[in-house]
Each structure stands twice: as structure tokens, then as C-alpha cells.
Amino acid sequence: MNWPVVLDWVSGFLLIIGAFFSFAAGLGLLRFPDLLSRLHSASKPQVLGLASVLLAVVLQYPTWGIITSAVLVMLFQMMTIPASTHMVGRAAYRTKHLKRSALYKDELAEVIEKADRTRSEDPGSGGNG
């Protein structure tokens, strides 16, 4: 078997892997019970999926332009995904878009409850906690 054929097989395999993980991410959005769990599905399998697709592209066109673009795409994924999931998760929690029944333990609620209690006992301490 000559080298380009091997490359084609590897790229094809990577594309299938990428498609599989992206599909799993979509399925997770349907199957998970609440918004916070769905954030996991939206932020993780698709990173690996995208990475495999980009790797396949780089293997097919191994030029500097393509490689640097792929690295940049990955870098910005890694930088923006945590920020966006954090913002959505935080907003969801504060607007109470979460299923309490889907949580075994919630240490954030305990902290907020405690903060609320001290604030009601001491109204002089100011509003925004």
C-alpha cells in the first residue's frame, strides 16, 4: 500500500470519528435531563469531534496556512467554550432553570441560603452579595 492511500484511510477514519462525537453531542442535548447537564454535552464531545475533523483536513492538505488555521480554530474553541458554558450555566442557575430533582447535592445553594440568612438578619450590610 502506498503512502497517499494510507493517508486517505487515516483521514477517512478521523472524519468518521469526528462525525460520531458530534452526533453524540447532539444526542446528549436531547437525552440529558436539564440545562446544566446539557452544557456538558455541548462543550465536550464536540471538541474531540472538531479536533479529529481538523486533523483529517491537515493530513490531506499539510501546508502551513492550513495547519496554522487549524491550530487557531482549536485554540479559540478551547478559549471560548468554557467562557460561554460558564455564562449560560450561571444564567441558568440564577434564573432557576434547573431541575432540583436532577441534583444529588448542591453546595452553591447552601452558600446562597447562608448569605440570604445573614443579609436578612443584618439589613445594614448592603444588597449585592
Partner 1 sequence: MSAMKNGAGKLRRTRLTFRRTIWLQLPLVVWLVVLWVLLWEAVTPITLASGLLIAVLITRFLYLPPVELGGRFNLIWFLAFTVKFVALVVAASVQVTWMILRPKGVPTSSIGAVQLRTRSDLMITLVAQVTSLIPGSVVVEVNRHQSVLYLHVLGATSDADLKRAREQVLRNEERLVRALGSLRDIDAINRHRREQGKRAIAAGAFSYFLRRQNER
Chain residues binding partner 1 by CB under 8 A are 21, 24-25, 27-28, 31-33, 36-37, 39-41, 43-45, 47-49, 64-65, 68-69, 71-72, 78-79, 81-83, 85-86, 89-90, 92-93, 101-109, 111
Q: Which is nearer to partner 1, 8 or 116 (CB)?
A: 116
Q: State the minimum distance, in angstroms, from the CB of residue 31 to partner 1.
A: 5
Q: State the minimum distance, in angstroms, from the CB of residue 5 to partner 1.
A: 27
Instruction: Output the CA torsion 35→39→40→46 (10° steps).
Output: 140
C-alpha radius of gyration, the chain, whole number: 22
By C-alpha distance, which of 59, 55, 84, 85 is closest to 70?
55
Alpha carbon 85 to chain centroid distance?
6
Q: CA 82 to CA 4: how far, in whole Å?
A: 37
Q: Which is nearer to partner 1, 5 or 79 (CB)?
A: 79
Q: Which is nearer to partner 1, 6 or 108 (CB)?
A: 108
